[in-house]
Chains A and B, each alone.
Chain A
Amino acid sequence: MASTHTEHRTGAAAMAGELRERLGPDRVLTDRTGLKAYECDGLTGYRVVPALVALPESTEEVAAVVAACAREGIPYVARGAGTGLSGGALPVADGVVVSLARMRRILDVDLPNQRMTVEPGVTNADITRAVAAHDLYFAPDPSSQTVCTIGGNVAENSGGAHCMKYGFTSNHVHAMTLVLPDASVVTVGGDGTEVVGPDLRGAVIGSEGTLAIATSVTVRLLRRPEAVRTLVADFTSPAAAGEAVSGIIAAGIVPAAVEMLDALAIEACEAAVHAGFSLDTAAALVVELDGPADECDEGFAQVERICREAGTTGIRFATDPDERALIWKGRKAAFAAMGRISPDYFVQDGVIPRTRLGEVLARMQEMADEAGLRVANVFHAGDGNLHPLVLYDAAVPGESERGEHLSTAIAELCVEMGGSITGEHGVGTDKACSMPKMFSEDDLAVMRRMRAAFDPAGISNPGKIFPTPRLCGERPGPYRVHPLEAAGLIERM
């Protein structure tokens, strides 16, 4: 290890001069203070200070940085806004961070064909903002959409509250320009919805920066729906709210969004945003339909009836866009709002077959009781994507470890139930050690073959997605103290 360490230092130092010449002195950072700003993403528990941060402004400059890394054998990590919640943009010690934050140009807008080509640093919300006047929008809507970038959305295949009806980033990208780990520049996807040969576009989306860096993305825009109807229905238990969701699905309705908050989550959201959720209810269900007005109205009447049949204790209708926006503000603030009710928390991102919700909630409650911790729940209830928030106090000795253990156990419970360890946050650094719970050695070996096809030297965001003995200890399985942490290579908040 020591020799590799030295080699990288030398390489990164040698590269700094070369890159400063290429990019300009202010776009290559090597000072400790500047580098510290890039030491973590939204998963702040993992921190690694990189050796160098490059801020390219074009595809050619990205390729130049990657070429230098490839030549020196130095690992690099692409980074957008750093809002990811799985440590996908965690730097590699002695490696390079390629920040795409300065690539924020809109390159082309084709209104008639409803598409736009943007650089990777353009934010999700800015895509929609650029075409809102034409009644168009970009459908994926992760909660962080005002800050997160399209490059990050591509890396994580981001979804959001409305992905049950509209799908994920993968469903909304026509084409991309990529810089591959050998610094070659290729185009994947195309103008049409079919290309000749394998769907490399789809293979790269969601690969968490381990296969390529997207330097331009052509996104599909949708016509804004004619009507949107939103209600919040209160229930005496999350299971009862779950019954209402089952009824809606069974009626053949595909809602734009179905979100559920439990009492703890509501308490936090209300303290932070005052969105008007009932504080005395066990569960709130947010249901939104959209589409042509006639279709939307008919479906909405049905949803109301189904909620009443499922025993709702009260329904609040969003009567205007402002009220709808307030409801969504409350929901989307859920994670950040946890600070109001707990000093610290872990966000989980498991997915279960929706029909097993009641069973999973009961097991989660047992596990929380056993750990002596509280768990707040926010779900994308339509597609079974759970966001249990494990609340703890890092100041209390042992709570942080118990919280982390519980959070991991919840993700692995989702796998046992036939689901997934991650619905939208990605595997990143955080869940790499849980991958063997979900995939066999052969599955992972074939995925590694795919990685090797793109990146034989393994320099593009190494240490993410795949479990390694170094990261996970010799035995795959339940979470243990992080060897990197034990070695003092990473720090934890």
Chain B
Amino acid sequence: MTATAQRHDVARPATVAETAAVLGDSAGTVLVRGGGTKLDWAGRVPDPDLVLDTTGLTGVLTHNPGDMTASVRAGSTLTALQEHLAASGQWLALDPPDAGATLGGLLAAGDSGPSRLRYGGLRDHVIGVTLVLADGTVARSGGHVIKNVAGYDLAKLMYGSLGSLAVVAEVVLRLHPRPAASLTITGPADAAHATAAVLALAASPLEPAAVGWLSGEPGTLLVRVDGTPGPVRASGTRLVALLAGLGIDAAPLPAADAATAWADQAAGVRGEPGETIVRVAGRPGDLAALAGHAGDAAGRAGVGFRLVSSAGMGLHTVRLHGGTAPAHAQVLAALREHARSRGASVLLRSRSPELDDLVDALGPPPSTAALLRSIKAQFDPAGRLAPGRFQPWF
């Protein structure tokens, strides 16, 4: 790592114009780096000529509490933004696991946390975006109002692009009022019970803000409701009764314990060094099937297995630890096969270099591979940005 790092030029622009100048005045390959929390997702980007560090591109540009919108330079961390907004009783309704992640990085990675169930993901909160293309062109789409259908939504193309199409320089965000009260209910539940709970909660009128599940013996279910104190307490009581009806003995957590429980969930999604982290997205009702399948595959391969799930949305983080790289490769292959049969998606996140030598980072190409190549050719014809990130798709 250090050997290659020494060969990189590093640019740290502070404005859109400087970012445009950096790209417009250079040639060669570029790795855009924000908080550096997701650089090992999907394909590797070997030896870029330039690292474009966005952490100087910071600051809240506008915040209109009455309109519940804010515009922010994209290298700002979510944590810094939330601190700024808290003074007005507002927040960006997003709670991804990495505190150090930047807004541009979160958009490019398409990352979210458990609250996505109620509030949506970052793609739903970004109402405007300023991009810098690889040739230095600056382009905006959207605007500063929540409702707006003028022109194409370039932010959507950035969502999940992992820095391969353009640099996200500024974002305009839709904000939410910070809930006056929250309550988390927890109880032991195995995968089958958790799946039943997820579907029953969705069919109920209780509108939970987040539903999480951690594998274990038997496993732990977490359900959070947001609102004002009285109604939140009332919903809590109803949640406990609903879960009891499914055979889950759940109870409200004191606020401090609730914060710890969700922090543990976030830590679980981040995983630990040395683990192979695989993200699976499917239908909420497939939780038990996935947990069973992944557990069996891990058992057969002699690999330790944990599942951390934003269960209400069918978003699962599968963590593999111990065992050999070929054993991890075997489990990954089983997960991909299972996902394919169910219509789910699989993203390989962190893993060891040994595993990289054994597996294809992206898996079989989707039906959109030719279209993705065409988009890449339009936005970054010289192939400067994050080469290798989506190899061999584009």
Contact = CB atoms under 8 A, between A and B. Distances in A.
Contact of B161 (A164, A197, A456): A197
B89 A192 contact: no
Nearest to B200: A112
A250 B65 CA distance: 8
Interface in B153-172: 153-154, 156-161, 165
B206 A355 contact: no
Interface in B133-183: 133, 137-141, 143-154, 156-161, 165, 176-178, 180
B63 to A, nearest CB: 12
B196 to A, nearest CB: 10
Contacts of A167: 120, 124
Nearest to A251: B177
A5 B152 CA distance: 29
A198 B156 contact: yes
B243 interface: no
A449 interface: yes
Interface residues of A, number: 92
A447 B345 CA distance: 28
Contacts of B116: 193
Interface string B299-343: 000000000000001110000000000000000000000000011
Contacts of A186: 366-368, 371
Contacts of B231: 292, 294-295, 298
Contacts, number: 273
Contacts of B281: 190-195
A192 B316 CA distance: 10
A295 B345 contact: no
Given A198-B165, A421-B150, A249 B378 contact: no
A190 B343 contact: yes
Contacts of B145: 351-353, 383-384, 418-420, 423
A196 B151 contact: no
Nearest to B138: A442
A465 B393 CA distance: 30
Contact of B147 (A185, A191, A384): A384
Interface string B245-258: 00000000000000
A249 B89 CA distance: 11
Interface string A417-431: 011111111110001
A194 B315 contact: yes
Interface stretch (B45-53, B66-74, B269-277): B66-74
Contacts of B313: 192-193
User: Which of B67, B149, B202, B314 gathers the greatest number of chain A CB atoms within 10 Å?
Assistant: B149
A254 interface: yes
Nearest to A208: B149
B263 interface: no
A108 B362 CA distance: 29
Contact of B157 (A110, A187, A431, A450): A450
Nearest to B234: A294
Nearest to A356: B67
B346 to A, nearest CB: 7
A114 interface: yes
A390 B85 CA distance: 39
Nearest to B140: A443
Contact of B371 (A196, A225, A453): A453
Interface in B364-394: 366-368, 370-372, 374-375, 377-379, 390, 393
Contacts of A274: none
A188 B156 CA distance: 12
Given A191-B343, A418-B145, A440-B140, A453 B156 contact: no
Contacts of A422: 148-150
Contact of B121 (A135, A193, A295, A298): A193
7 contacts: A112-B203, A168-B147, A187-B368, A193-B121, A294-B230, A419-B144, A445-B139
Given A191-B343, A193-B315, 9 more contacts: A113-B202, A171-B120, A225-B207, A353-B144, A355-B64, A383-B147, A418-B143, A419-B144, A439-B141
Interface of B: 42, 64-69, 89, 110, 116, 120-121, 123-124, 131, 133, 137-141, 143-154, 156-161, 165, 176-178, 180, 199, 202-207, 227-228, 230-231, 234-235, 279-285, 313-315, 342-347, 362-363, 366-368, 370-372, 374-375, 377-379, 390, 393
Going nearest first, the 8 A-B pairs with the smallest beta carbon separation are A192-B281, A202-B156, A226-B205, A252-B177, A446-B139, A294-B231, A295-B231, A191-B343
